[in-house]
Structure 1
């Protein structure tokens, strides 16, 4: 693993880690970016995602960063996947042109309505779950 990502105990290893780190490469990003985060992700912690977003904000780059409180690493809940795809569709439509379906029309049919990321506003950073 150290050969792949660098040894933090050596100068060369630290240089390799910095060269590959998304936080240190934020200045090279030119296009709007979507960073979706599962709050319970065991591999990519929310704090790491927040660091990336802060680095992009510092460079005044456009970033959308929805947080899914009930997801881990990967989006397995259908309502969260739908919300993520809707968010991506809205971003693509806004920056590339075209049409994005309103999130309001995507409300899933259920006996009792439940608010989730699938029905949250596309501009919101946090997807509430009631």
Structure 2
């Protein structure tokens, strides 16, 4: 970075759920600051999130994120998918196929958009998981994938 605090070639961003959203927000809003990211079951487009989320989740999320009926413009502006063409960082996407909190369509959009642009990408879909990974074998696979990803893309 210009301040000299960190070498952008060695900075990664990682998070799940809200943190996964922040990974994609960081990679799209600050593309020069990150060399790699790991997005775990994060929202990337509030429009598709609300369209595909379970009714109970959609109702709760209107209070947290905004109402898609009355705040559509704000939610569009906050959705990283609309700036996905700015992503330069190698991106790892992990998601559970049975996620009812953040539908898998969110991960699929990231994967499709980055793959079409040739951004270094890996997608790990857990067919037997929902929101978060609770099975020991999957938690081990998640951590191994994340550590391996950052080792590969953040080395000097």
Task: Measure how far apart 1:58 and its partner are.
Answer: 2.8
Structure 1 unaligned residues grouped into runs of 5+: 99-130
Tell me which of the two structures has the higher relative contact order, counting C-alpha pairs closer than 8 angstroms and 6 or more residues apart: 2
Q: Tell me which residue corresponds to 2:15.
A: none
Count matched residues. 96
* TM-score normalized by the length of structure 1: 0.63
Name which of 120, 123, 126 aligns with 1:68. Answer: 126
| TM-score, reference length from structure 2 | 0.54
Cα separation, 1, equivalents of 2:98 and 2:63: 28
Q: Which residue of 1 aligns with 2:68?
A: 8
Deviations 1:51-71 (A, max 9, x none): 121122233222211000111
Which protein has the bigger strand share? Answer: 2
Kindly report which structure 2 residues correspond to 1:28-47, keeping only aligned pairs within 5 A, or say none: 28-47=86-105
Q: Which has the higher helix share?
A: 2
Structure 2: gaps spanning 5 or more residues: 1-60
Q: CA deviation at 1:38?
A: 0.5
CA contact (8 A) 1:26 1:59 kept: no
Pairwise CA RMSD of aligned residues?
2.1
